[in-house]
Structure 1
Amino acid sequence: MVKAILVLGDQLGRDVAALRAGDPATDLVVMAEVAGEAANLGHHPKKIAFCFAAMRHFAEDLRAAGWQVAYTCYDDPDSTGTIPGELARRADAFGATSCLATEPGDWRLITALRKAGVTLLEDDRFLASHKRFDDWARGRKALRMEYFYREMRRATGLLMEGDAPVGGAWNYDSENRKPPPGTLFHEGPLWFDPDETTRAVLDLVAARFPDHFGRLDGFRYATTRDQALAALDHFITHGLPDFGDYQDAMLDAEPFLYHSLLSAYLNAGLLGPMEICRAAERAYHDGHAPLNAVEGFIRQIIGWREYVRGIYFREGPDYVTRNDLGHTRKLPDAFWGGPTDMRCLASAVAQTRDEAYAHHIQRLMITGNFALLVGADPQQVHEWYLGVYVDAHEWVEAPNTIGMSQFADGGVIASKPYVSSGAYINRMSDYCGACAYTVSRKTGQGACPFNLLYWHFLDRHRERFRGNPRMANMYRTWDRMAEDKRATVLAEAQHLINKLDAGSSF
């Protein structure tokens, strides 16, 4: 039986299930850059360029390994413009009797391929299969990541001594919340000059996507497995030792700090989760990196990453449409580079525009926090995150946004909304020092909008959260305020929200 084997832009590894089920001597690999995917949601130009360049390099690798590859470039005049359409077109031309694919990471494409009669194989590059996650989740009142993470530690043996965690504790997160350092002793992530293949992609993206939010100039991401491996080695050597201490810190002039920026390569398939984690574990055992850094880094991969994928597939196709808090406000123009006097928001958005990257605290506690406090439509927030970040694929982005950031799933992931006033941002960043607003000012001229919007959010959702034990102290603090002060806070916060509704900024 001759097969047409689909390989998607986030399946760029020879160990992907559909390739393992094929035969280079008889089968055809189909890869395609299509308008239906690239133009969808107005993806960041750097994200499109990374995907296309990595795909083209991988196609070259497959051909060198003996595979026949039918590759559709974006400007191919014969392209059908869709993934199922290109698979069918190439299969028909090749005389394939069946079509095979590794399960995609979003329900929309899964549905489309199933409808087209494509056989889907479960993506076993992940450590927890759908069944394994469902078995763990079955019967639990709350699906908390920490307990899933412990099971994954036992299953992988990472940082384990028999049945016990190395160091005696499962989680060292309390040691990973230091404010930004005065001096960085790290040159940042390893970058790469575009080769001829990547330069051709950059020319294409510049011509075809000129109006998408984000800057294409300065593209320097890895686009091959060898480059991704070099980036991993660079991080383990130079970034990991201080990653733990400062992983939550934010500096306006230092967008990367000690972060790895490996998530784009991992999510595209250029790196595997266990090879990354084993490299980090070796750094601990060799005395190169401390336990709090290594444990925190590994937890992000075998804990959080596997957990959110499990949630996405367990919750089903309607997950991205959930809106438990009933938020409907248009995403503020500041998310598209519009004017704002809030330095933290402006900085996080500008960094996103320039690099197609922001680290997890910038996403959660700056842009996500702001969107939640003003009541932005979670669907619009979801689409923004999915479009602007180079590492964003729906299986990983949707639970982080719909669940963790916006609490739109009603608490499937988070036990409480992740909201904060300006004090947290001030403690963990240098944004507030040169801001037009004063972070210590609670009301009146120049008061930090986060301080006002925080209480407004709690007040308008009081009935929803008054019984949440993790929020009891927040409401007790609010209730202890003088009535006239509460009225002032709510009036000033509403004034800010009214400005957004009028299309203005603050």
Structure 2
Amino acid sequence: MTRLCLILGDQLSLNMSSLQALDKGKDIVLMAEVKEEATYVKHHKKKIAFIFSAMRHFAVALKEAGYQLQYTQYDDPNNHDSLYAHVEHAVKEHKITQVVVAQAGEYRLHENMSSWADKLNVELEITEDNRFLAPLSFFSDWAEGRKQLRMEFFYREMRRAHRVLMEGKEPTGGKWNYDSQNREKAPKDLNIPKPTSFAPDNITKEVIALVEDTFADHFGDIGNFHYAVTREQAQQVLAEFIEHRLENFGQYQDAMVEGEPWMYHSHVSFYINTGSLSAQECVDAAEQAYISGQAPLNSVEGFIRQIIGWREYIRGFYWHLMPDYKQKNHLHAKRDLPDLYWGGKTKMNCLQQCVKETKENAYAHHIQRLMVLGNFALLAGLDPEQVNEWYLIVYADAYEWVELPNVSGMILFTDGGMLASKPYAASGAYINKMSNYCQNCAYSVKEKVGHQACPFNYLYWDFLIRHKGILQKNPRMAMIYRTLEKMDAKRVEHIEQDAKLFFENLANNEEV
């Protein structure tokens, strides 16, 4: 019996479950850079370059480990358009009797692969994706019978199950969550370390040339490519985060500074999501930094919560609720995504900075994604399908399993509160509190209405007015709706007029 193991572009680990039972002497590993996966949305140029380069470097690692590898590059004249076509060809060529693949991260691809056994007339084994600490059954068991699927309680179960930052049955330090200590604005004299970067080698240079030639019409800049494309480089990114940035990560993880896209963040989501780093080694490194006194508990707990809390929760949430979850639109949002998300001109400095850095880096940290880009999408009532596609396109760490729940549930409240207990809506005051963007903006964050007012200010209240019938029943929104009820009628009229004019200008592609 000869087996064929398909490795997907985000399964770049020698420890993948699909590789474990292979006979290196006769079984074959298949990898391919295929058109279907690279273009089902028009991914950011740097995202494609990062994944293709990481794949090609992993192919080298597979060969060095003794695997028989069949690898097809994107511009190979014998390249097929889809993963299925590559598998079909390999099954016939090598008389394959069994195809093995770890579960795909995206529902559409998993459903596609699940039909291959009948189509190919071979045995198909889909193994558990062991890049995650929790199997999907762990989330399902936890979710069963619960009216609310809140991340905080899932996170506590993960801490207990994996004995992370625990002292007996109690959390280290006596608290599960230190997020209240992690919301400081960055002072002006902050000395932010540079991100770990790597000069492109010959493999990466070939990929960059391919992307420049073949994906020229895709969004994003390809210059200044400096990402880790091997496991060894990814391990260096983690090590330097632990040494240079983890200490201040917690305190400033929500802060935004103009011209500083990387801040104190780890930047390891690129590499965990492709398999170059394991979640366990990231958690272990951070926990050891606390034990050794290298980093404070609020930073370590905050980082670990992002991995074994949020990341694992989001993945379980996605699979628990798909495919219906993708169609939800609780607030009936339908406005088209405006040009400013693609780099179109805007006088709103916060949006301009976040889009600019996204275009340059295929990266923005979570508060930029949630409370600037996402907040605007929520307040403006942008169509969830278009917003989801944008986030999937522009970020190099974005795959549907992680992107969809974050955007639909956390950002757009399309599920009516299944993920987040209330919409993450905010006025310009929040952005001013957590950033220095407002200092160089054409608008005044202090003005509430009028042509000089920060649009976030009146759009926030207009959003609450538009959705009063739905949101005023939410207990966490009660106080703000009481404030709205006491608001002067003339001010409410100004808010609605300003919002109407803003949306008219937005629809006409005028600079807002």
Shorter-normalised TM range: over 0.9
Q: Give the 3-state SS of the residue equivalent to 2:316 in structure 1.
A: helix
Query: Is the 1:378–1:406 Cα contact (8 Å) retained in structure 2?
Result: yes
**Match in the other structure for 1:61:** 61
- State the Cα distance separating 1:95 from its structure 2 match: 1.9
Task: Please give the alpha-carbon distance, in whole angstroms, between the structure 1 residues aligned to 2:189 and 2:389.
Answer: 36
1:390 to 386, 396, 401: 396
- State the Cα distance separating 1:223 from its structure 2 match: 0.1
Q: What code does the residue aligned with 2:98 have?
A: S
Task: Please give the alpha-carbon distance, in whole angstroms, between the structure 2 residues aligned to 1:263 and 1:106.
Answer: 17
Residue 364 of structure 1 pairs with residue 370 of structure 2: yes
Q: Give the 3-state SS of the residue equivalent to 2:481 in structure 1.
A: helix
**Match in the other structure for 1:277:** 283
**Match in the other structure for 1:440:** 446
Q: What code does the residue aligned with 1:288 have?
A: Q
- State the Cα distance separating 1:405 from its structure 2 match: 0.6
Task: Please give the alpha-carbon distance, in whole angstroms, between the structure 2 residues aligned to 1:181 and 1:383.
Answer: 35
The alpha-carbon distance between structure 1 residues 10 and 109, as it changes in their structure 2 partners (threshold 3 A), is: same
Q: What code does the residue aligned with 1:115 have?
A: S
- State the Cα distance separating 1:186 from its structure 2 match: 3.4
Task: Please give the alpha-carbon distance, in whole angstroms, between the structure 1 residues aligned to 2:21 and 2:384.
Answer: 39
Q: What code does the residue aligned with 2:39 have?
A: A
403-412 or 117-126, which deviates more: 117-126
Task: Please give the alpha-carbon distance, in whole angstroms, between the structure 2 residues aligned to 1:142 and 1:151.
Answer: 15
Residue 177 of structure 1 pairs with residue 193 of structure 2: no
Query: Is the 1:16–1:125 Cα contact (8 Å) retained in structure 2?
Result: yes
214-223 or 33-42, which deviates more: 33-42
**Match in the other structure for 2:121:** none
Q: 1:320-369 CA distances to partner (integer Å, 9 max, x unpaired)?
A: 22211111110011000011000000100000000000000000000000
- State the Cα distance separating 1:69 from its structure 2 match: 0.7
Q: Give the 3-state SS of the residue equivalent to 2:469 in structure 1.
A: helix
**Match in the other structure for 1:17:** 17
- State the Cα distance separating 1:128 from its structure 2 match: 1.5
- State the Cα distance separating 1:10 from its structure 2 match: 0.6
Residue 115 of structure 1 pairs with residue 115 of structure 2: yes
Q: 1:423-472 CA distances to partner (integer Å, 9 max, x unpaired)?
A: 00000000001100000100112110000110111111001011111111
Residue 301 of structure 1 pairs with residue 307 of structure 2: yes
Q: Give the 3-state SS of the residue equivalent to 1:42 in structure 2.
A: coil
Q: Give the 3-state SS of the residue equivalent to 1:437 in structure 2.
A: coil
Task: Please give the alpha-carbon distance, in whole angstroms, between the structure 2 residues aligned to 1:98 and 1:182.
Answer: 60
Runs of 4+, deviation exceeding 4 Å: none
77-86 or 458-467, which deviates more: 77-86
Q: What code does the residue aligned with 1:70 have?
A: Q
**Match in the other structure for 2:489:** 483
- State the Cα distance separating 1:2 from its structure 2 match: 0.7
Task: Please give the alpha-carbon distance, in whole angstroms, between the structure 2 residues aligned to 1:23 and 1:277.
Answer: 32
Q: Give the 3-state SS of the residue equivalent to 1:203 in structure 2.
A: helix
Task: Please give the alpha-carbon distance, in whole angstroms, between the structure 1 residues aligned to 2:451 and 2:61.
Answer: 60
Task: Please give the alpha-carbon distance, in whole angstroms, between the structure 1 residues aligned to 2:326 and 2:89.
Answer: 31
Q: 1:5-28 CA distances to partner (integer Å, 9 max, x unpaired)?
A: 000111000111111132211111
**Match in the other structure for 1:125:** 131
Task: Please give the alpha-carbon distance, in whole angstroms, between the structure 2 residues aligned to 1:377 and 1:453.
Answer: 16
Task: Please give the alpha-carbon distance, in whole angstroms, between the structure 1 residues aligned to 2:504 and 2:480.
Answer: 25
Q: Give the 3-state SS of the residue equivalent to 1:41 in structure 2.
A: coil
**Match in the other structure for 1:417:** 423
Q: 1:287-314 CA distances to partner (integer Å, 9 max, x unpaired)?
A: 0100000000000000000000000000
- State the Cα distance separating 1:482 from its structure 2 match: 0.6
**Match in the other structure for 1:208:** 214
Long gaps (5+) in structure 2: 118-123
**Match in the other structure for 1:142:** 148
1:257 to 256, 263, 273: 263
RMSD: 0.9
Query: Is the 1:184–1:257 Cα contact (8 Å) retained in structure 2?
Result: no
Task: Please give the alpha-carbon distance, in whole angstroms, between the structure 2 residues aligned to 1:291 and 1:40.
Answer: 42
16-25 or 52-61, which deviates more: 16-25
Long gaps (5+) in structure 1: none
Task: Please give the alpha-carbon distance, in whole angstroms, between the structure 2 residues aligned to 1:407 and 1:178.
Answer: 26
Task: Please give the alpha-carbon distance, in whole angstroms, between the structure 2 residues aligned to 1:219 and 1:60.
Answer: 20
Q: What code does the residue aligned with 2:245 have?
A: G
Q: 1:40-78 CA distances to partner (integer Å, 9 max, x unpaired)?
A: 211001000010000001011101111111111001112
Task: Please give the alpha-carbon distance, in whole angstroms, between the structure 2 residues aligned to 1:186 and 1:415.
Answer: 34
Task: Please give the alpha-carbon distance, in whole angstroms, between the structure 1 residues aligned to 2:357 and 2:328.
Answer: 28
**Match in the other structure for 1:325:** 331
Task: Please give the alpha-carbon distance, in whole angstroms, between the structure 1 residues aligned to 2:134 and 2:467.
Answer: 36
185-194 or 253-262, which deviates more: 185-194
**Match in the other structure for 2:51:** 51
Q: TM-score by structure 1 length?
A: 0.99
Q: 1:191-230 CA distances to partner (integer Å, 9 max, x unpaired)?
A: 0011111111111111100111100000000000000001
Task: Please give the alpha-carbon distance, in whole angstroms, between the structure 1 residues aligned to 2:30 and 2:11.
Answer: 12
Q: 1:128-169 CA distances to partner (integer Å, 9 max, x unpaired)?
A: 111110110011111000000000001111111111111000
**Match in the other structure for 1:99:** 99
Q: What code does the residue aligned with 1:333 have?
A: D
Task: Please give the alpha-carbon distance, in whole angstroms, between the structure 2 residues aligned to 1:71 and 1:473.
Answer: 59
Task: Please give the alpha-carbon distance, in whole angstroms, between the structure 2 residues aligned to 1:275 and 1:103.
Answer: 22
**Match in the other structure for 1:89:** 89
- State the Cα distance separating 1:318 from its structure 2 match: 2.9
Q: Give the 3-state SS of the residue equivalent to 2:4 in structure 1.
A: strand
Task: Please give the alpha-carbon distance, in whole angstroms, between the structure 2 residues aligned to 1:71 and 1:319.
Answer: 35
Q: Give the 3-state SS of the residue equivalent to 1:268 in structure 2.
A: coil
Query: Is the 1:188–1:239 Cα contact (8 Å) retained in structure 2?
Result: no
Query: Is the 1:186–1:238 Cα contact (8 Å) retained in structure 2?
Result: no
199-208 or 110-119, which deviates more: 110-119
